[in-house]
Amino acid sequence: MKTMVSLLLISVPFFCTPPKSFTQQDPLNPAISAIHLDGKAVVRILYTDNAKARPLSAYTNSILTDNKGFQLNDTLPSGSGYKDLVFEVRSFQKGFFQIGNYRAEVYLAPFDTLFVVADLSLAKGWQVKEWKGKYAFASQYYAARNKQLGGLGGQRAGAANISADLKGYQQRMDSLLALETSFFETYRSSHNLPAWFVETERNEIRYADAFLRLNAVKYRDFMGMDKQEDVPAEYYQFVTPGLVNNPKASHLFTYQMFLMEYFSILLAQQHGKNKADMVLSPQLAQEHLTGKAKDMYMICYINDSWSRFPVEGEKEFNKYYTQISDKALIDKIKAYYQQAYILKPGGQAPGFFLQDQADSLVSLKEFQGKVIYIGFWFVGCAPCIKEFPHENALVEKFEGKDVRIISICVRSSRENWMKMSSRYGLKTINLFANPNWEKSLIEKYNIKSYPHYVLIDKTGKVVENNCSRPSEKIATQIQKLL
């Protein structure tokens, strides 16, 4: 088996080749390189002795283009061979893949391939025998850290639940931060890690910790453990101007999450927690951020608006365009969304023939003469599930009127679709798209994130693609079409 794996490593070419980047790239510091809207990274798993097919999943956060992350689910066949996991990535970033119950953390670079040589012969799990690739040193570090520190992430995430008060929580977090920092500094002293990675990982550790500390205040308030307004002022002393305004961390997902949480707290302090609105956060960005830190926050803010509400996103783009110095990147994002949402108002809505829960075929043409509101979702999509009660409310509101609320499940098995539909009591016209229809609908309706909603008038013409969600006053738009 060892011979076979070696031959695979020699004969299999790298999957990706780098294209031209959007901005100038510093070869000495690739971690602060260009953002790639079309970035992909490959993890090629070369495995041996897999006794039976096992579940295979992968995940990474994504700073762009929709700020929600990328996830895939697959199966690793039995026997020996290789399997490619193709991640959508926008920058140098962390990711995870999991075989069965065992998870491995990996470092992903746009247009690069990481080779993972894995032994699956172990009865209770599997192990990585070797990492290969240009940035394999980072994944090797993660493996060593996870082996040494075990469930550090779980301890950090659970600290807000088990601490008696915020003082005790701070002490736990201080201890965990010291533990991880000490391990990293010891590890790097005996391994030849490039300076750019050392700087990046230090920032990753800082901002993952800082985000959780800020988030814990709101979480404990929500759980009734503390009140936000009673948080002592000294609790926030760790948030220094240098922590907030850090251009060298601008490309990191953890940094952007920290900024969003921090600005949310500032807005709550200024306007009250029930009135704070992140639409005001660009003003805070102008006050607290400079250079690339300000640019990336504003780009992420506009991108997030555009990915959820194209019309509003374009307004935000026009409003803040002059305040962004990286015109090349923001122009690329504008072009991306203009192309992504090419199903314009007035165009004929793409038709379909899909299965309902009674295993009958349902076509879009059946609803001619009705106002149609379609929602695309998939099993495991938390924001989709959050909209189910609002979808049911729409069905009830427009009962007896010329309105049809349709749910179309994609990227899921028929069995799981049926289970989820039953669990949440969907009252919509509930349809399932098999893989062939799924591919067609995602392409024709230009679906880039979920849930995705489409409003269609009585003549079958698109009123708005990727329109407002049920929880966001779509009922008013539907009513006007009647």
Average pLDDT, the chain: 86
pLDDT value at position 423?
93
pLDDT value at position 342?
61
Average of per-residue pLDDT across 242-247:
96
pLDDT value at position 376?
96
pLDDT value at position 152?
87
pLDDT value at position 276?
61
Torsion over CA: 474, 476, 477, 479 (sign) = positive
Average of per-residue pLDDT across 288-301:
93
**Selected residue with higher pLDDT from 306 and 214:** 214
pLDDT value at position 277?
72
pLDDT value at position 403?
96
Provide the token pair at 175: 């201890």
**Selected residue with higher pLDDT from 356 and 6:** 356
Domains and CATH numbers, the chain: 2-134 (2.60.40), 353-481 (3.40.30.10)
Average of per-residue pLDDT across 27-34:
52
* Residue 51 scores a pLDDT above 50: yes
Torsion over CA: 9, 145, 33, 86 (sign) = positive
Q: How many CB atoms lie within 10 A of CB 125?
A: 11
* Residue 5 scores a pLDDT above 60: no
Q: What is the pLDDT of residues 84-102, one digit of tens each?
A: 999 988 889 999 999 988 8
Q: What is the pLDDT of residues 338-365, one digit of tens each?
A: 766 667 788 889 999 999 999 899 999 9
| 136 class by beta-carbon count within 10 Å (0-12 exposed, 13-18 middle, 19+ buried) | middle
* Residue 259 scores a pLDDT above 50: yes
What is the SS3 assignment for 476? helix
Q: How confident is the model at residue 32 (pLDDT cuts 50, 70, 90)?
A: low
| 434 class by beta-carbon count within 10 Å (0-12 exposed, 13-18 middle, 19+ buried) | exposed
pLDDT value at position 7?
30
Q: How far apart are CA 24 and CA 138, in angstroms?
A: 24
- Whose tokens are 């704070």? That residue is 276
* Residue 481 scores a pLDDT above 50: yes
Average of per-residue pLDDT across 155-166:
90
What is residue 348's DSSP assignment?
Answer: B
* Residue 267 scores a pLDDT above 80: yes
Q: What is the pLDDT of residues 57-79, one digit of tens each?
A: 999 988 876 656 778 888 999 99
- Whose tokens are 């099993």? That residue is 379
* Residue 335 scores a pLDDT above 80: yes
pLDDT value at position 151?
81
Cis, peptide link before residue 65, omega less than 30° from 0: yes
**Selected residue with higher pLDDT from 276 and 419:** 419
Average of per-residue pLDDT across 437-448:
87
Stated pTM of the model: 0.72
**Selected residue with higher pLDDT from 124 and 333:** 333
Q: How confident is the model at residue 230 (pLDDT cuts 50, 70, 90)?
A: confident
